């Protein structure tokens, strides 16, 4: 296979994130048109929106573990094919049921990519740059969301524009597949399946010549451990990793990130922006998100992950409390309405700079090699499950509690997240994946073998 540059490997390794972002982001605009053309009621719209979430929940738990069996690269390619079929099917869908079916299929790819991309990136990156390189995933997610907003805006004048909005995802899916063909397999997976020479070759591509042997020896040591099953995921050794994986996955969602993103255009129309200005403001938020995430990518290996999570949750809590109080007064005070808009923007900045990227980075790095696919898959499924629960309960809770109480409620969960990070998360920055695994062994009292 033709040898590609490191930049190529990191770019295409992360590219699956674009489809994750695009396919989850595009529906907020497209649904307005789908609903009119297909004459859909609210529950039907709900199914079309959450079809992807349901598919992702399944995709994470199926494709994650398959990555341990067939390799990370093959599963990235598989996800690209499913992305393509799902996007094309959505664009051509004849009615409600076929649209739900193809959104579900698309979701399987989204869930698969959400587990495979962080795993692949964390396994090819050198320890001292793993945070930055793994968080390229989130940068791609945000770029995908931004591209979706732009596509929505560009095609909003056309009656059947939603078909183009949904089918446009076939383009990055095809690019991912073609680029993915040239990606090397993860060296850690290669050692795991006994292809040590091939792994040496890949590490030679990714590291300076004098670093290869030491890293290979470390990986070989860990790869000697028997391939794990579900029992091992819940074992004493893996427990601290599992707590981090599941805890971060659930907290990332219950702190309300998607509801705030979803609610942003409404807040902007509430403070007097017209509908198209609100859509443009949405695009503005999209660009802002990409910029803030890019900053996170740069600082990721300079600041401890735990610090980022704690500062992020503090900032998110403070902005949600401000948002809740300001929303309370926003109907009769323009100042309060502007404060609400600023608080919302600050919330998004804190999320995009911290919990957005750090959660996926840590999920990709905390699990031992012999159960990595299972652990990452299960954490991904918890993240998608929590996403679905929050999205489905949001309209009902909003009606029952109102924006003030609801956003304050999400703020309280941010405070709980600080406690969780403080007491349940260990630091991973700067350590190799094998050192992280060694730490888990030590904690469980298993004597390291050398």
Binding positions for ligand BGC, rule: CB under 6 A: 24, 138, 141, 145, 252, 257-258, 261, 356, 360, 383, 387
Looking up tokens 């499913």 gives 82
Measured from the CB atom, is 23 or 123 closer to ligand BGC?
Answer: 23
> Min. distance of Cβ 81 from ligand BGC in angstroms?
23
| CA dihedral for 163, 169, 175, 179, sign (positive or negative) | negative
> Min. distance of Cβ 48 from ligand BGC in angstroms?
17
> Min. distance of Cβ 252 from ligand BGC in angstroms?
6
> Min. distance of Cβ 357 from ligand BGC in angstroms?
7
Measured from the CB atom, is 17 or 228 closer to ligand BGC?
Answer: 17
How far apart CA 105 and CA 55 sit, in angstroms, is: 6
Measured from the CB atom, is 370 or 383 closer to ligand BGC?
Answer: 383
Tokens of 195: 């292809």
Measured from the CB atom, is 24 or 322 closer to ligand BGC?
Answer: 24
Q: Is 167 helix (H, G, I), strand (E, B) or coil?
A: helix
Question: What DSSP element (H or E) covers 448?
Answer: none
DSSP secondary structure of 180-206:
HHTPPPPHHHHHHTT-HHHHHHHHHHH
> Min. distance of Cβ 355 from ligand BGC in angstroms?
7
How far apart CA 139 and CA 214 sit, in angstroms, is: 31
Measured from the CB atom, is 261 or 281 closer to ligand BGC?
Answer: 261
How far apart CA 338 and CA 25 sit, in angstroms, is: 25
Measured from the CB atom, is 215 or 365 closer to ligand BGC?
Answer: 365
> Min. distance of Cβ 306 from ligand BGC in angstroms?
18
Report the residue count for the chain. 450
> Min. distance of Cβ 24 from ligand BGC in angstroms?
6
Measured from the CB atom, is 118 or 179 closer to ligand BGC?
Answer: 118
The answer for residues whose C-beta is within 8 angstroms of residue 325's C-beta and 6 or more apart is: 404, 408
H helical segments located in 225-353 = 230-233, 239-254, 257-270, 275-299, 305-329, 334-353
- Residue 261 exposure: Cα atoms within 13 Å on the Cβ side: 31
> Min. distance of Cβ 122 from ligand BGC in angstroms?
15
In the chain, % helix, strand, coil (3-state, to 5) comes to 80, 0, 20
The answer for residues whose C-beta is within 8 angstroms of residue 349's C-beta and 6 or more apart is: 288, 292, 315
> Min. distance of Cβ 42 from ligand BGC in angstroms?
22
Tokens of 79: 């996800």
Measured from the CB atom, is 190 or 363 closer to ligand BGC?
Answer: 363
Please check whether residue 374 is in contact with residue 230, taking contact to mean a CB–CB distance below 8 angstroms.
yes
Tokens of 355: 């919990």
Measured from the CB atom, is 268 or 350 closer to ligand BGC?
Answer: 350
The answer for residues whose C-beta is within 8 angstroms of residue 225's C-beta and 6 or more apart is: 368, 369, 370
Measured from the CB atom, is 295 or 444 closer to ligand BGC?
Answer: 295
Residue nearest to ligand BGC (CB): 356
> Min. distance of Cβ 106 from ligand BGC in angstroms?
15
> Min. distance of Cβ 378 from ligand BGC in angstroms?
15
CA angle at residue 183 from 179 to 186, to 5 degrees?
150
How far apart CA 211 and CA 217 sit, in angstroms, is: 11
Q: Is 229 helix (H, G, I), strand (E, B) or coil?
A: coil
Query: Which candidate, 15, 163, 184, 182, places its Cα nearest to that of 92?
Result: 163
**Quick one: how far is CA 38 from the chain centroid?**
31
Measured from the CB atom, is 24 or 319 closer to ligand BGC?
Answer: 24
């Amino acid at each position: 296979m033709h040898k590609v540059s490191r930049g190529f490997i990191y770019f295409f390794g992360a590219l699956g994130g674009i489809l994750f972002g695009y396919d989850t982001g595009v529906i907020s605009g497209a649904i307005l048109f789908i609903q009119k053309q297909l004459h859909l009621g609210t529950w039907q719209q709900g199914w079309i929106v959450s079809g992807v979430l349901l598919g992702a929940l399944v995709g994470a738990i199926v494709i994650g573990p398959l990555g341990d069996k067939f390799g990370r690269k093959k599963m990235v390619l598989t996800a690209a094919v499913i992305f393509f079929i799902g996007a094309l099917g959505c664009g051509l869908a004849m009615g409600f049921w076929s649209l739900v079916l193809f959104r579900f299929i698309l979701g399987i790819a989204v869930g698969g990519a959400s587990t495979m991309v962080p795993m692949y990136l964390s396994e090819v990156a050198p320890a001292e740059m793993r945070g930055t390189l793994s968080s390229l995933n989130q940068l791609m997610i945000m770029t995908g969301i931004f591209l979706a907003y732009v596509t929505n805006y560009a095609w909003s004048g056309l009656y059947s524009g939603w078909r183009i909005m949904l089918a446009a995802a076939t383009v990055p899916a095809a690019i991912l597949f073609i680029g993915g063909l040239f990606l090397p397999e993860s060296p850690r997976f290669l050692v795991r399946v006994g292809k040590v020479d091939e792994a040496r070759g890949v590490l030679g591509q990714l590291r300076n010549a004098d670093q290869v042997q030491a890293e290979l020896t470390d990986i070989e040591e860990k790869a000697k451990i028997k391939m794990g099953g579900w029992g091992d995921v819940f074992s004493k050794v893996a427990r601290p990793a599992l707590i981090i994986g599941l805890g971060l996955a659930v907290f990332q969602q219950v702190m309300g990130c998607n509801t705030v993103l979803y609610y942003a255009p409404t807040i902007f129309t509430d403070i007097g922006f017209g509908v198209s200005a609100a859509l443009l403001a949405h695009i503005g938020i999209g660009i802002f998100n990409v910029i803030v995430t890019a900053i996170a990518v740069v600082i990721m290996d300079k600041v401890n992950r735990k610090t980022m999570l704690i500062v992020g949750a503090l900032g998110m809590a403070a902005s949600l409390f401000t948002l809740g109080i300001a929303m309370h007064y926003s109907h009769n005070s323009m100042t309060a309405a502007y404060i609400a808009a600023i608080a919302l923007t600050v919330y998004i900045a804190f999320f995009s700079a911290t919990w957005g990227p750090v959660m996926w980075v840590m999920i990709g790095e905390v699990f031992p090699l012999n159960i990595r696919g299972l652990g990452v898959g299960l954490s991904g499924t918890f993240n998608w499950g929590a996403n679905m629960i929050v999205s489905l309960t949001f309209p009902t809770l909003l009606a029952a509690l109102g924006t003030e109480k609801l956003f304050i409620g999400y703020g309280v969960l941010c405070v709980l997240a600080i406690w969780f990070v403080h007491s349940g998360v260990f630091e991973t920055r700067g350590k190799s994946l094998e050192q992280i695994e060694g730490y888990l062994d030590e904690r469980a009292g298993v004597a390291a073998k050398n």
